[in-house]
Amino acid sequence: MGTASSRARDRDDEGRARNARPRDGLGRPLPYGADGVDRQPEGVVRTPDQTIAEAQALLDAGRPFHAHEVFEDAWKSGAEEERTLWRGLAQLAVGLTHAARGNTTGGARLLRRGAGALDEWASAAAQHQPYGMDLASVTAWARELAEAVESAPAPVNAGERAPRLRRR
């Protein structure tokens, strides 16, 4: 049982638990009352093109944790046959988040796991690139970054190390 000073759980309008603490650009919780970055709304249904564009903008801005939330929405609301695609992309974004936070072991592990989830999509993409994404390059990026963070364990700059989901 909590004390009088303990904070009640944050809940949304439907009673689901939500953490209302502000967060920094890498998704780390900040003290209540601190200035944080705007959070991505959860449960938003986007088209695949909207998902990719919004996630890429967040990745480019050095906010991979928030890009992960966009991919997670696609994974949870998208077509069953595409769930591994969106989950793999979400894992890559979380891997980049951990690498930027200085968690090299977790970062490398998630980058490789996400790349592994996308391997089937990347090989099939040789004939058809889903939604214009260059998944072969994205998986190569993930594996190279995993190697880099393990060989020189230091936080990476998430914006500078962000993947290009589509060729420009």
Residue 19 within a domain: no
Residue 122 domain boundaries? 48-151
Q: Is the dihedral of CA 46, 50, 55, 57 positive or negative?
A: negative
* Beta carbons of 135 and 166 less than 8 angstroms apart: no
Q: Is residue 18 part of a domain?
A: no
Distance, in Å, from the CA atom of 44 to the CA atom of 161, rounded to the nearest integer, reads 26
**127 band by pLDDT with thresholds 50, 70 and 90:** low
42 within some domain: no
Q: What is the pLDDT of residues 59-84, one digit of tens each?
A: 999 999 999 999 999 999 988 999 99
Residue 76 lies in a domain: yes
Q: Would residue 72 count as lying in a domain?
A: yes
In a domain, 160, yes or no: no
CATH code, domain with 54:
1.10.3450
- Name the pTM for this structure: 0.83
Residue 41, H or E segment: none
Residue 147 domain flag = yes
Look up residue 143 and give its amino acid: R
Torsion of CA 34, 40, 41, 46, to 10 degrees: 170
